[in-house]
Amino acid sequence: MSCVRRVSYLTGCVVLSAIACSAAPASSPDRLRRFSDDSLICRAATDRFVGLPGLEAGTVNAPGSTSHGSWWIRGCSAERVANGLRLRFEGPGWYFVDRREGDFALHQQVTFTLGIELEGSPALTVDKGVAALRFEPRTAPEVRVRVSRPEVHATSAWGSLVRLLPGVSVRARAARRLSALAESALREKLREGATATYELGSGQYDVALGQLPPGKTPRNAFPDGIRWLVNERVFLPPNATQVVGPIDPGLVRLDARIEQGHGLGYRAVCQGEMPAAFDAIASGHLDRLEHVSGQLARASPAQGTLTGQGEQSALLRVADCKFFVALAAADDSTTIGAVRVRR
């Protein structure tokens, strides 16, 4: 899925599983602790990585938008309300930030925790072989973002002086600023609702932010009609990562179309090992996974590099566990391209 579609994957699951939702509210989780009620939506969404689009104006819902970060859904609850559903999702993640404001600059992958609450109503239509479920929020979405303190660099003598002043935390101020910007951008886009589509002929399922016209499906990074499990564009500067999944055990093909840069590295991580691997991946360094634990190394049989621009692919065989695929640039150049996982 594209990054924008994956942000709205949650909402798409909501409308597809409305009947099965229970009324258990979510509690506030620890950073990596998993919690979920027994609703169908939460069974589908919990433990899934969701790609986050660029938050600049005009990019969040643009066709073919590119993932600039990943959000790991570790908490979920769904309950029926009058004429609709109320959903809560929560979890940690990361986002690559490249900003310069005044005397300071930030260029790194920043970690955060994100909580979202949505309330709205689903509606179903079938047109031109496409079943569409639309979710329209009835109230303003609640979005809570807490960014960890980033490494802010001074770009002037004044900035260097301010960093030395007692009682002034440039990192804390930057974290509050980034949190507010992310909350505003995500809240604005979630107000547009979402559309979940199911192609009756091929069985392909997809979701997108906003209300798609009848009979239309979202735009994919790979638009050739081949069925897929993941289909999105990624942005991978040096020291940045993306994660997709979880994916059921077995043999899958990883397709990449490198548009900029020299390629990407990939590594499978078993679902049960992700809590141990999370901090290493969130730091933007896949190579650090080798030092997390011997068990993690043994549980990650599928890894490699796809180098060069253009289209290329690799086979990944993970027989013993559900797994995620972690991605990073192949070298110190920024990689931008389309990524697809399929059987």
pLDDT (tens digit, 9 = 90+) per residue, 208-265? 878 888 899 988 899 898 999 999 999 999 889 999 999 999 999 999 999 999 999 9
CB 113 within 8 A of CB 90: yes
Rounded distance, CA 249 to CA 316, Å? 10
Asked whether 289 and 300 are in contact (CB, 8 A), the reply is yes
- pLDDT tens string 160-201: 544 444 554 666 777 777 777 778 888 887 888 888 899 999
Please, which residues have CB within 8 angstroms of residue 219's CB and are 6 or more apart in sequence? 2, 63, 64
Kindly tell me the burial class for residue 13, based on how many C-beta atoms sit within 10 Å of its own C-beta (0-12, 13-18, 19 or more). Answer: buried
Q: What are phi and psi of 332, to 5 degrees?
A: -85, 10
Kindly state the tokens that stand for 15.
């409308």
**Do 263 and 308 contact (CB within 8 A), yes or no?**
yes
Q: Which of 2-6, 16-20, 222-226, 332-336 has the lowest mean pLDDT?
A: 16-20
Q: What is the pTM of this model?
A: 0.80
